[in-house]
């Protein structure tokens, strides 16, 4: 192992590879900021360019674009509520409220520090535990993934304000229903209402951009001019300090540690990816937070921003474990990388350690170098990027509309998606005015397709019986944890009621 690490350092530290790390991080950061141009599209376009490179150099470049895009995707989420990539949707829940409160500088700085911490911790874990974790991810079956998706849905309480748990459940069910539009796993179209453009289902980016960015821009238009001027003045006057105080750092350290571990291990599971990791981390932190801190989630919580930002970057590194050690893509982006590696004549899998150790170790070492470059690259730019908030409404709103609509159009080149996006945005505005939370709908949509696919596989393997839910120890363990997570809020509510009853009784005794 030590020999492999030294070999990786020697390869990654060559001038050509260091330049590729920088180019990948720089390009990925700006690609992540632009809604619609995700890392998958960017890496697919880079494959023909990298054919003349060494396999390790090509993979270092593509890896830099991947985690650079996740790193940069937080910027548009925080500043204009437009997630650049799916993995940064949860970042917008608290990042955007912080920016609206005049703390854009602090939000962007915290996102940079959290991303760096998550990426660094996961790179170290990848260095130490990749071979062992490969066997763990290999032991996961469809029933285990199904249980994991259910556990992910229990995080719905994290997106529900006080007294809104049932509303969050309803929105989650709506998201699950939307995920069933289009062809099922057998190729049979359903719920398409005779519209050919719906045969392939709804696109996640379309739904995310419509419910967050587009609806937010339209809500700004609907607000009274005086309110908008006040918020613009506040943003111009308080772009916010980038400084994270010692007390804040001390408070956020456990959040970063937990989210790094969770994100890395979720990333290790093939098909899970940064999006699920960020949602799970956000839900976990809200459930673990004290009552006073819990009320800040969704309104500008620093923990609520740090958790998903740490987890999504940690999951990026984790997704390289199944790719390099098993030849199984851990996400859509690593699936593109898998095809690129095979085209270079490199076969990922258990033999990669022996046949191409340079590729394996150099990529891991380059991840740590890349995280340092991203931090150095992004921190000086934060004061300038944050000034985007100071743009007048007459300029900022059309920009948001342009990037939202063009981002979705460039993805599909279909005008139907533009029309559908506007309709979804109008419905989202109505839902927001009725005070329903939108985040649970997105979470249900993301997890719905994977839940159905894994449930179908599990029940087919188990002869159409649902006994797979309790027959496998891993599945049963995950479901038990899920039940405990569901019971935790109820237990908390019961304790509050009991404490209130006791206070009332003591007050009555005092009066007597």
Any idea where the domains of the chain sit in the sequence? 2-511
**Nearest Cα residue to 323 out of 311, 340, 306, 309:** 340
Higher pLDDT, 369 or 155: 369
* Residue 294, SS3 per DSSP: helix
pLDDT for residue 235: 47
Distance CA 428, CA 383 (A): 32
Higher pLDDT, 509 or 357: 357
* Residue 189, SS3 per DSSP: strand
- pLDDT of residue 131 exceeding 70, the answer is no
Confidence label for 161 from pLDDT (cuts 50, 70 and 90): low
Q: SS3 helix, strand, coil % of the chain, rounded to 5?
A: 80, 0, 20
**Nearest Cα residue to 269 out of 453, 146, 134:** 134
Q: Do residues 24 and 63 make contact, with C-beta atoms less than 8 angstroms apart?
A: yes
pLDDT for residue 80: 76
* Residue 34, SS3 per DSSP: coil
* Residue 388, SS3 per DSSP: helix
- pLDDT of residue 371 exceeding 70, the answer is yes
Distance CA 46, CA 57 (A): 12
pLDDT for residue 234: 43
Q: Which of 127-131, 285-289, 412-416, 428-432 has the lowest mean pLDDT?
A: 127-131
Residues 6+ apart with CB under 8 A from 25: 64, 65, 67, 68, 71, 370, 373, 374, 377
Top-confidence range, 200-214, 260-274, 411-425 = 411-425
Q: What is the mean pLDDT of residues 412-416?
A: 81
Distance CA 274, CA 91 (A): 12
Which contacts of 94-100 are long-range, i.e. CB under 8 A and separated by 24 or more positions?
Answer: 94/296, 94/297, 94/298, 94/299, 94/300, 94/301, 94/302, 94/304, 94/305, 95/305, 96/216, 97/298, 97/299, 97/300, 98/300, 98/302, 98/305, 99/235, 99/386, 99/389, 100/231, 100/235, 100/300
Q: What is the mean pLDDT of residues 482-492?
A: 71
Length of the chain: 512
pLDDT for residue 496: 72
Mean pLDDT of the chain: 77
Distance CA 158, CA 328 (A): 31
Q: Which of 8-17, 90-99, 189-198, 333-342 has the lowest mean pLDDT?
A: 333-342
Residue 258 token pair: 């937990």
Q: What is the mean pLDDT of residues 92-97?
A: 86
Distances (CA, A) of 306 to 85, 91, 378: 17, 8, 16
300: left (phi over 0), alpha (psi -120 to 50) or beta: left
DSSP structural state of residue 210: I
The percent of residues in the chain predicted with pLDDT above 90, rounded, is 1
Q: Which of 126-135, 359-368, 495-504 has the lowest mean pLDDT?
A: 126-135
Distance CA 216, CA 228 (A): 13
Residue 216 token pair: 């937010």
Dump the DSSP string for 212-258.
IIIHHHHHHHHS-HHHHHHHHHHHHH-----PPPHHHHHHHHHHHHH
pLDDT for residue 231: 47
Confidence label for 461 from pLDDT (cuts 50, 70 and 90): confident
Distances (CA, A) of 247 to 252, 253, 259: 9, 10, 19
392: left (phi over 0), alpha (psi -120 to 50) or beta: beta
- pLDDT of residue 240 exceeding 60, the answer is yes
């Amino acid at each position: 192992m030590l020999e492999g690490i030294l070999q990786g350092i020697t390869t990654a530290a060559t001038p050509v590879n260091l330049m590729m790390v920088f180019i990948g991080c720089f390009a990925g950061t700006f690609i992540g900021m632009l809604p619609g141009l995700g890392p998958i599209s960017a890496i697919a376009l880079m494959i023909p360019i990298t054919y003349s490179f060494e396999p390790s150099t090509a993979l270092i470049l593509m890896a830099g674009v991947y985690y650079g895009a996740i790193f940069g995707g937080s910027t548009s989420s925080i500043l204009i509520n437009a997630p650049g990539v799916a993995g940064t949707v949860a970042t917008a829940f608290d990042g955007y409220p912080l920016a609206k409160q005049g703390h854009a500088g602090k939000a962007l700085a915290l996102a940079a520090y959290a991303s760096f911490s998550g990426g660094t911790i996961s790179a170290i874990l990848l260095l130490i535990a990749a071979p062992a974790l490969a066997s763990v991810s290999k032991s996961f079956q469809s029933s285990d993934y199904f249980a994991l998706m259910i556990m992910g849905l229990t995080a719905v309480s994290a997106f529900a304000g006080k007294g809104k748990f049932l509303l969050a459940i309803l929105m989650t069910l709506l998201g699950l229903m939307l995920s069933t539009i289009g062809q099922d796993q057998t190729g049979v179209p359903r719920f398409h209402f005779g519209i050919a453009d719906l045969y392939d289902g709804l696109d996640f980016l379309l739904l995310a951009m419509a419910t967050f960015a587009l609806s937010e821009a339209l809500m700004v238009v609907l607000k009274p001019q005086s309110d908008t001027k006040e918020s613009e003045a506040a943003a111009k006057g308080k772009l916010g300090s980038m400084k994270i105080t010692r007390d804040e750092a001390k408070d956020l350290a456990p959040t970063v540690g937990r989210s790094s571990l969770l994100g890395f291990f979720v990333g290790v599971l093939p098909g899970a990816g940064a999006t699920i990791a960020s949602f799970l981390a956000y839900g976990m932190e809200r459930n673990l937070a004290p009552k006073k801190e819990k009320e800040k989630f969704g309104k500008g919580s620093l923990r609520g921003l740090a958790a998903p930002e740490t987890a999504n970057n940690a999951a990026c590194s984790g997704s390289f474990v199944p790719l390099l050690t098993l030849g199984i893509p851990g996400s859509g982006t690593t699936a593109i990388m898998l095809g690129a590696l095979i085209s270079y004549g490199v076969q990922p899998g258990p033999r990669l350690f022996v046949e191409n150790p340079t590729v394996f170790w150099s990529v891991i070492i380059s991840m740590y170098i890349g995280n340092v470059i991203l931090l150095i690259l992004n921190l000086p730019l934060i004061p300038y990027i944050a000034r985007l908030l100071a743009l007048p409404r007459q300029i900022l709103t059309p920009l948001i509309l342009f990037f939202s609509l063009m981002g979705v159009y460039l993805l599909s080149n279909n005008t139907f998606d533009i029309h559908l996006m506007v309709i979804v945005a109008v419905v989202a505005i109505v839902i927001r005015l009725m005070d329903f939370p939108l985040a649970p709908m997105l979470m249900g949509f993301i997890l719905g397709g994977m839940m159905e696919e894994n449930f179908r596989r599990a029940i087919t393997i188990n002869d159409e019986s649902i006994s797979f839910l309790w027959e496998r120890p891993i599945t049963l363990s995950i479901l038990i944890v899920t039940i405990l997570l569901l019971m935790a809020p109820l237990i908390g509510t019961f304790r509050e009621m009991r404490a209130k009853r006791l206070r009332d009784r003591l007050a009555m005794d005092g009066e007597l």
